[in-house]
Amino acid sequence: MHQKVRKAIIPAAGFGTRMLPATKSVPKELLPIVDRPILDYIVAEAFASGIEHVAIVTGRMKGAIEDYFDHAFEVDVSLRNAGKHGLADRMAQYTPAAGSISFVRQQQARGLGHAVWTARQIVGDEPFAVLLPDMLMVADEPCLKSMMDLHARHGGNVVAVERCAPEETHKFGIVSLQSTGGDPLVEGLVEKTGAGRGAEQPFHLRALHPSA
């Protein structure tokens, strides 16, 4: 019986340079998709998957993220006084329960690994999930829930991947997979392959096995 994944870390400390000038004053993670910030969707997926506590790693000039997930008492009262109870209830629906979300500051921009490391005191020795708030995945069952179920069966490390065109492999982290007749195993991975090096030339690292 493998230990249940109860906590998730969401790194949200980056400058969002690819989306300037919008991110000069608005954190990238709070840019809206229709009427909700992208980070709201990510947090909602975590809780819908069974996560009990979310730790968001922020940085300087990102205080708006903490404000967004707080209870906006003044707005709630104003809406209800105006008879807009449906809108007030919808806002409350997306406000995390007290104690279910916390924030930690990454004081220096030292990469994704360091951002996850800054939340180590929150997750302790438990297995945990890492969600990156820059891609939305729509499915009948949340992607994270599927990953957590896989971890419950096998343990070890689980990573979600998708296919990309060979000419775009230098833009993304790339894995090579070993077919097992069931859930595939990752036998090689690299953060980015480098311009001109395609997925047909995988970087073989040590095998990652569910029982490892």
Do 108 and 17 lie in a common domain? yes
DSSP letter string, 108-175: S---HHHHHHTTHHHHTTS-EEE--TT-----SS-HHHHHHHHHHHH-S---------GGGGGGS-EE
What does the pLDDT read at residue 182? 74
pLDDT for the residue numbered 206: 33
pLDDT along the chain (212 residues), means of 10: 89 87 90 91 93 94 91 92 92 86 90 91 93 83 91 88 83 82 81 56 36 34
pTM equals 0.83
- Regarding whether 184 and 130 lie in a shared domain, the answer is no
pLDDT of residue 78: 95
CATH of the domain at 24: 3.90.550.10
Q: What is the pLDDT of residue 96?
A: 87
Q: Do both 37 and 125 map to the same domain?
A: yes
Per the CB < 8 A criterion, the answer to whether 115 and 15 are in contact is no
Q: For residue 122, what pLDDT is reported?
A: 94
Q: Do 17 and 52 have their domain in common?
A: yes
> Residue 7's CB: how many other CB atoms inside 10 A?
20
- Tell me: do 128 and 196 sit in the same domain: no
**Within a domain: residue 103?**
yes
Task: Indicate if 87 and 150 belong to the same structural domain.
Answer: yes
Q: Tell me, yes or no, whether 102 and 189 share the same domain.
A: no
Please state the separation of Cα 125 from the chain's center in Å: 19
Q: Does residue 173 sit in the same domain as residue 192? A: yes
Taking the C-alpha atoms of residue 76 and residue 89, their distance in angstroms, rounded to an integer, is: 9
> Are 117 and 177 part of one and the same domain?
no
Structure confidence at residue 194 (pLDDT)? 64
Radius of gyration of the chain from its Cα atoms, rounded to whole angstroms: 19
Domain of residue 167 covers: 161-207
pLDDT for the residue 5: 92
pLDDT of residue 7: 95
Instruction: State how many domains the chain has.
Output: 2
